[in-house]
Amino acid sequence: MNKIVLDTNIVISALLSPDGNPAKIIALVAVSDDIRLYYSAEILSEYKRVLSYPRLNIAGEKMLRAVWLIETFGTLIEPPTSTIQLPDESGRIFYDTAHESGAILVTGNTKHYPIEDSIMPPSEFIDTLTFDD
């Protein structure tokens, strides 16, 4: 089982570049029993807030479909807040959710997090995928 948490930049990239690795990852969440997405209420609020930025020019229907997919195929958890020092405090909820669920945090901004094997960019995550038979 591949457990993941998606940083907001991955969801944005998936919607803006439908042929890229972030879009492939989100598509796999919907069709594969071998990938389990975790999120928190705070993460979902962050997705909704950022995806609605006018400068991103993401159609409302596209945004609603992405949020629906996350809620439908993801698993909602409420992680405790960690005390680990992070390079960018805005990533704490993603970091904490990944650690609480034992998931890989997929992000395009690895520099915002500590160097850990469980934090990786989308291309690296795609390379590590394994599927149960």
In this prediction the pTM is 0.94
Q: Under CATH, to which class is 2-128 assigned? A: alpha beta
Of the given ranges (30-34, 39-43, 73-77), which has the lowest mean pLDDT? Answer: 30-34
Name the 3-class secondary structure at 116: coil
Using an 8 Å Cβ cutoff, are 126 and 27 in contact? no
Of the given ranges (35-39, 75-79, 85-89), which has the lowest mean pLDDT? Answer: 85-89
Give ∠ CA 114-41-56 in degrees, rounded to 5.
75
Show me where the domains of the chain are located. 2-128
In the numeric block, which tokens belong to residue 89? Answer: 């405090």
